[in-house]
Structure 1
């Protein structure tokens, strides 16, 4: 996903909601008006009921260990908005969703934007037509807008009123991390990993990899690509030895797509491979100021001068990249490994030696090991329950169920005896499904349906059930073990877009997005230096110091939340 997976920016296109959305979570879409009114009043008056419901709360407190979802498993449907246009999942068509629905009574109608995600969400916010659940990136402006607009419930209040079991399964540290100034928490993330977890688990992976096509790399004698000289020599040798792939020109190096604000591969990915620190002398440190980073950007500029940067990398989007990866047209890539699993599998099925493998990539002058981004406490997405939900009691109970170990098992493995069982003393997929998960992930997701149900996933719990990675992707994941670090304290450093600091941050991000391609296309290092100095000047004029001061204050708050001095 990919936070990781993920530089925190928002930039997408627009669509009106119109009649697609039905307000409220309902067990029967044909409920009469009086039933809807009673249900709606019940949901929207949680705060008033809580203030006057001490006796009920006292009664609930005796049931803190009992999962609340078991009290009512009658049919109920939640409309659930997922803030990603690429998401595609039909609840009720997979073995896992059928089992969960039968067990809990919950059915989900996933709603996905057809065009620009941000405009669709803003339309729903402005018209107060948000569905029952909303899942979006934790960094999105929509999170703040919904909280400030009073459009979402605090999970604390719902849990206190309807399901104290929530506190048994939610991480106190995660709740504290997402706590707002009013002391309440309004959303819960998926795949959140606290900094302390890195000391407890040995196999926490990173998505950030430098990969090469195995057969080509070996044919070139496995060149050392950690230095600028070795990197350029390897790209040049690959282009000379393998000028074409199935009649198409070889692309020596592949990168994430260029956007209005830059390129992941040449920003956080490259900085982490170079082990550039995030702080220096007690202040936040911008990797773009680091000599090692500039050295490597100039290396990429030199690569372009040598004809080693294909024009395709400046214009291709993810869909075009996946197609070219499946064709094996890249020699090397600084790329997120989970973004090309299907393409990697296609290569493996044609020729196991043509797959991509992770190797040591760009490094700093000391050849220090990379410090790649692992999962953070912010997770990837944030899920919120809106005040349009007519059954907030069932909603918070379903959240608690999903967060529990039982729910994680159900959402990951499915029904015991159908998709999994205890084999050799371990809870794991039945052999036919384990093999499908390893070798045909697309079919596995279509039949079993585990991977798309990530909204409240917990990777630390799920790793105990994960099948061994298939031969096509195993090496990519295992290479990252021991190289992942937590950058959790540097999350939440993007100011609200409509604040003064947010406007500054947006201007600087756009400025960098315009500058980065120019740096790579510069005809000389001298021209590179002029472009770079111009960027620094304009960044300062845009108010960089004011933004930095805001970020430093936010960083101190982050450290306090995590107990880091």
Structure 2
């Protein structure tokens, strides 16, 4: 949030809170009896309860419910089994103003989902605006047993846990020595790559040269200019593509003696800025990339204009499938990029302790129903439903226990007329990918690869590592916690403001000058003190995980 005069700030907070959170508690009797339901969501003849309307705030501007809410089978199951009708709310921007308004006013919705690395959850806990999962489970769902290691990871200073994460990986579930795919992935269009003769793109400079060939020789697709390299959307805090590029360039986040290292200040970090600045000055990154939102990125991929991208490919598989259904030659593949020296990348795998975390507002009038819904979504039955839908309708079982998609479902996904939304599959706010990843069918046709990120990113597994400790483990009662969070926010916003200037600089010298000036400014803003605090969290995380080093290359 950009700070203005105090009175203006409070006014913005109050207006934001009033506009998005006016219906935090719903209507109806919360003590009504819930009808039982079969795994396929068909409720029994137990008397139905009155439906309660609840608000679920998701702190991602681009997030959309995957079905046709209120009409699809999944939302009808939520209504019939749990007596809930959900009103999903997303911010217009990065969500900082909405979250600040909640913290300042206490106007908190029934459910809140935010990025796990943001510390909004602790501010809401301190304000007394959340109810702990411990209390909800004890009162209403005593048979709900979240994975202990993940649940304890999120304990606050009062010893209670207030969140449930998605995409978290428990040590109790993982197989010893198992390798998982990374979160990120460089992708490119196979047909265009083959048209170029599949040139060597293993290092940064060779890849840029190949992109220039795409720009100058291929030029267009379906009458529209080709975009050689597409990045994620730029936000107030920077760009996720750059966060992942530092992994492909193998920049360590830990020193040899086990201390936290701020990658921005590693001598090799400049290479990531140099790479993007070079790409921009050669016309390989579109100017639109700096203003595009997620929807625009999806549109460009679906239209076939994007040759290569550095994103999380699973975020754009629908668009890749749309393109393939229109042109079966237009398939995407992942590939390994290395830095200018040719070092192997060190990619963060999808393990971690969650991408998003979901919390429950203390003043909600539907606590009993909400925790039962969360329990269902975390269960084997719930995970199977959100990933695969309904047996006999969207999938059938194979002899080996994997599933096969039905012709009905595949036809619906191919039509591109919205008919695939009738089931409401793909609800991702509480997904447990590990529990279902091995059940997906093996790809039979090229388009099938987009139905499982496990299949799509297999070429990257050898370079994927568990770097869970990198983000640190919060010390709930640390005396400087709030101060450091404020410093982190200020530094992150300043970096996000300067990053486009570096990339769009008209010369390498100018880009380097802006980069150096930015690092100097971050030091003036308290970066060194923040790094010391980050090191404490880093050591706390390694202690919790029982490891000496987190940077994978130090463990060889």
TM-score with structure 2 length normalisation?
Answer: 0.81
CA RMSD of aligned residues (A): 3.5
**Residue in 2 aligned with 1:59?**
none
Deviations 1:221-241 (A, max 9, x none): 111222233123212222221
Whether 1:555 and 2:533 are equivalent positions in the alignment is: no
Superposed, 1:145-184 pairs within 5 Å as: 145-167=123-145, 170-184=146-160
Deviations 1:20-52 (A, max 9, x none): 6434355x3xx5xxxx8xx79xxxxxxxxxxxx
2-side partners of 1:233 and 1:284: how far apart?
Answer: 35
Gaps of 5+ in 1: 1-11, 41-68
**Which of residues 334, 350, 354 is equivalent to 1:375?**
350
Superposed, 1:37-52 pairs within 5 Å as: none
**Residue in 2 aligned with 1:65?**
none
**Which of residues 284, 307, 310 is equivalent to 1:334?**
310
SS in 2 for 1:115: coil
1:353 and 1:471, CA in 2 relative to 1: closer, same or farther beyond 3 A?
same
**Residue in 1 aligned with 2:182?**
206
**Which of residues 66, 74, 97 is equivalent to 2:75?**
97
Whether 1:531 and 2:514 are equivalent positions in the alignment is: yes
- Say whether the 8 Å CA contact 2:180–2:351 is kept in structure 1: no
**Number of matched residues?**
511
1:445 and 1:533, CA in 2 relative to 1: closer, same or farther beyond 3 A?
same
Whether 1:108 and 2:56 are equivalent positions in the alignment is: no
1:155 and 1:221, CA in 2 relative to 1: closer, same or farther beyond 3 A?
same
2-side partners of 1:149 and 1:114: how far apart?
Answer: 22
SS in 2 for 1:331: strand
**Residue in 1 aligned with 2:435?**
461
2-side partners of 1:415 and 1:354: how far apart?
Answer: 31
Moved more, 144-153 or 205-214: 205-214
Superposed, 1:275-286 pairs within 5 Å as: 275-281=250-256, 282-286=258-262
1:118 and 1:280, CA in 2 relative to 1: closer, same or farther beyond 3 A?
same
1:531 and 1:137, CA in 2 relative to 1: closer, same or farther beyond 3 A?
closer
SS in 2 for 1:426: coil
2-side partners of 1:243 and 1:201: how far apart?
Answer: 45
**Residue in 2 aligned with 1:17?**
18
2-side partners of 1:449 and 1:133: how far apart?
Answer: 19
- Measure how far apart 1:180 and its partner are: 0.9
- Say whether the 8 Å CA contact 1:348–1:354 is kept in structure 2: yes
Moved more, 429-438 or 231-240: 429-438
**Residue in 2 aligned with 1:55?**
none
SS in 2 for 1:540: helix
- Say whether the 8 Å CA contact 2:204–2:340 is kept in structure 1: no
- Measure how far apart 1:78 and its partner are: 5.3
- Say whether the 8 Å CA contact 1:206–1:477 is kept in structure 2: yes
Gaps of 5+ in 2: 1-11, 33-42, 549-556
1:445 and 1:553, CA in 2 relative to 1: closer, same or farther beyond 3 A?
farther
SS in 1 for 2:52: strand
- Measure how far apart 1:157 and its partner are: 2.1
- Measure how far apart 1:75 and its partner are: 5.0
**Which of residues 372, 386, 402 is equivalent to 2:377?**
402
2-side partners of 1:364 and 1:288: how far apart?
Answer: 17
- Say whether the 8 Å CA contact 2:277–2:502 is kept in structure 1: yes
1-side partners of 2:98 and 2:522: how far apart?
Answer: 31
Deviations 1:423-445 (A, max 9, x none): 43536366235535874688465
**Residue in 1 aligned with 2:489?**
506
1:241 and 1:425, CA in 2 relative to 1: closer, same or farther beyond 3 A?
closer
Moved more, 220-229 or 515-524: 515-524
- Measure how far apart 1:81 and its partner are: 1.1
2-side partners of 1:204 and 1:438: how far apart?
Answer: 27
Moved more, 217-226 or 201-210: 201-210
Deviations 1:496-530 (A, max 9, x none): 99933233323322332243333334444444443
**Residue in 2 aligned with 1:317?**
293
- Say whether the 8 Å CA contact 2:474–2:537 is kept in structure 1: no
1-side partners of 2:222 and 2:268: how far apart?
Answer: 37
Deviations 1:316-368 (A, max 9, x none): 33232222222222332222212322321222122222233222223352431
Deviations 1:192-251 (A, max 9, x none): 114686654857333411122222211211112222331232122222212233333332
SS in 2 for 1:234: helix
- Measure how far apart 1:548 and its partner are: 0.6
**Which of residues 359, 375, 378 is equivalent to 1:384?**
359
**Residue in 1 aligned with 2:245?**
270
- Say whether the 8 Å CA contact 1:489–1:555 is kept in structure 2: yes
**Residue in 2 aligned with 1:435?**
410
- Say whether the 8 Å CA contact 1:17–1:123 is kept in structure 2: no
Deviations 1:152-191 (A, max 9, x none): 1111122223332122xx1000111011111110111111
1:310 and 1:105, CA in 2 relative to 1: closer, same or farther beyond 3 A?
closer
**Residue in 2 aligned with 1:43?**
none
- Say whether the 8 Å CA contact 2:184–2:244 is kept in structure 1: yes
